[in-house]
Structure 1
Amino acid sequence: MSTKANRYAHQLLDARACAKLMPLLSNADVLSPMDGYDIGKRILDASIGQGATPVGRKLGFSNRTIWKKYGVTKAIDEPFWAHVFDTTVRYAEDNRGIQSLDGALQPRIEPEVVFSLGTTPSPDAGIEELADCIEWMAHAFEIAVCPFPDWKFDAVDAIAAFGLHGTLIIGEPHVLSSATRRNLASMLANASVSLSCCTEDSVTLCGAGFGSDVLDSPVHALWHLHQQLNAQSQFAPLQAGEIITTGTWTDAYPVQAGQTWVTAFSGIALPGLTVSFV
């Protein structure tokens, strides 16, 4: 797989750099999800070689409500992860931002919750210990991108293609008290978010979702990622200082220049985000 992984990694890097679509990897070869991570490791090494610094991870397909909507040969019914980099993460001052879509292949927007780890979890950390490792949380938009036509792919394709990660736009971080961390999993599970698109002519409610859709809670999604990494020795485990975006609360919706997207939360004191695309 080594030679193939290098070739596929080069093709994916080239597609991103040139903003061009490419055929599915799974159409050309029989590939497993672990092959996708092998390709992802080549992309990680190449990205670091080009000057990017990994600053955390993103979870994809942690929302069970969207599993049946994606997958060419079978539904994608398992979360996956990929790295995020200093070159792909932005912070929205006062929870408002402007984002260029130049070079973004078939961009879609996903409302998510991000955690920053203040301490490194132990290898056998459970839900409560992981929650206690969280220093702050924030609301974020992940702008997902896809190099495969019509957003059609299998799991291995999505894993290999940067986990479909484009840009992560993070709102105001909220430092967590010890009491909040103890109750964070249930607080987020019982919260909901709405996602609306605004143009010059209209405001449209596009989607809504619950924290419980994200593997029962974004904190549980973090635990799932921790478990995955324990089984993947080629990658570093979670470390203090990393940011983790835990997956979308709604489906991913296409975005285009001229639109402004807005979120609002219920059930938790987390401000929404407003991002305009140019």
Structure 2
Amino acid sequence: MLISTKANRYANQLIDARAHAKLIPLLSDGGGLSARDGYDIGKRILDASIGQGETPIGRKLGFTNRTIWSKYGVTQAINAPIWAHVFDSTVRYAKDNRGIQSLDGASQPRIEPEVVFGLGATPAPDASIEELVECIEWMAHAFEIVVCPFRDWKFEAVDAIAAFGLHGTLIVGEPHVLSSATRRNLASMLANASVSLSCCTEDSVTLCGAGFGSDVLDSPVHALWHLHQELNSQPQFAPLQAGEIITTGTWTDAYPVQAGQTWVTAFSGIALPGLTVSFV
């Protein structure tokens, strides 16, 4: 476990890097850091963020998509999910599933198409996956803009955990309130759905990626279940609560974005509208 002064130093480095869009050396370069250390640093960042007036309103999951695990990690592939908080300052809603997003201050931004759940009830610590699904009030499609303070997106899992979980901005589309029947079948419905992700410029439209809900730990519902179980083993963090939003991880790889581009998604196999977001 990290000593307090070292954890505070790492947290301050990451907060400063985020505030000024700076690149910094890997925390893991010195060796000896574990995922637990990453969450210890993340807890200090959480406390500092709250102290600066930000309000945590949910969580983000990362690396839930098994198809991209082998693409990340320096000494070894990142082969397990991570999570971090999202804040009132980092989440926005896209009216009519369309939006404009500034990339000012975003370090090496990339885009990820995801599914977000809104919790209408607080799950019990020992809730089954069926009971957990009953706590979901709504779902929506979203883009997460992920950012990275480490050069060329090269890092270990502990670096990603500590660095805000690589969270930048969450752009949430129209929420859809779930019926009881939809909740019962939600895991399989999402597992069998697919999404396409395209980049549009003045000159071209390029299909950049496509993915299936089953790539996300077999279903975004199972990703939420993983987070619930993980939080049971991390008493330094609050468990899931009613009112939180949870974004469950990307359905494709993360793609670099630039000002002047418009990114568009379309779903198959599920009645979720796509998103259109232009970057400036």
Q: TM-score, normalised by structure 2?
A: 0.99
Using the alignment, how far apart are the partners of 2:264 and 2:7 within structure 1?
Answer: 39
Using the alignment, how far apart are the partners of 1:153 and 1:162 within structure 2?
Answer: 13
Using the alignment, how far apart are the partners of 2:219 and 2:124 within structure 1?
Answer: 20
- The code of the aligned residue for 1:192 comes to S
- The code of the aligned residue for 1:237 comes to P
Partner of 2:61: 59
* Match of residue 230, structure 1, among 220, 228, 232: 232
Using the alignment, how far apart are the partners of 2:16 and 2:263 within structure 1?
Answer: 30
- The code of the aligned residue for 1:6 comes to N
Partner of 2:199: 197
Partner of 1:174: 176
SS at match of 2:134: helix
Q: What is the CA distance between 1:228 and its match in structure 2?
A: 0.3
Q: What is the CA distance between 1:234 and its match in structure 2?
A: 0.2
* Match of residue 23, structure 2, among 2, 14, 21: 21
The percentage of counterpart residues that share the same residue type is: 87
- The code of the aligned residue for 2:74 comes to V
Using the alignment, how far apart are the partners of 1:28 and 1:201 within structure 2?
Answer: 46
Residues 34-49 of structure 1 mapped to structure 2, 5 A cutoff = 34-49=36-51
Using the alignment, how far apart are the partners of 2:82 and 2:228 within structure 1?
Answer: 11
Using the alignment, how far apart are the partners of 2:172 and 2:211 within structure 1?
Answer: 19
Task: Give runs of ≥4 in structure 1 deviating > 2 Å.
Answer: none
SS at match of 1:241: coil
Partner of 1:246: 248
Using the alignment, how far apart are the partners of 2:194 and 2:95 within structure 1?
Answer: 23
Using the alignment, how far apart are the partners of 1:121 and 1:18 within structure 2?
Answer: 38
Partner of 1:85: 87
SS at match of 1:204: strand
Residues 128-277 of structure 1 mapped to structure 2, 5 A cutoff = 128-277=130-279
5+ residue gaps in structure 1?
A: none
Give the number of aligned pairs: 278
Partner of 2:111: 109
- The code of the aligned residue for 2:193 comes to A
Partner of 1:50: 52
- The code of the aligned residue for 1:39 comes to I
Q: TM-score, normalised by structure 1?
A: 0.99
- The code of the aligned residue for 1:176 comes to L
Query: For residues 226-262 of structure 1, what are the alpha-carbon distances to aligned partners after superposition, in whole Å with 9 as ceiling and x for unaligned?
Result: 0000000000000000000000000000000000000
SS at match of 1:158: helix
Q: What is the CA distance between 1:30 and its match in structure 2?
A: 1.6
Using the alignment, how far apart are the partners of 2:21 and 2:78 within structure 1?
Answer: 25
Using the alignment, how far apart are the partners of 1:194 and 1:126 within structure 2?
Answer: 32
CA RMSD, 1 decimal: 0.5
Q: What is the CA distance between 1:125 and its match in structure 2?
A: 1.2
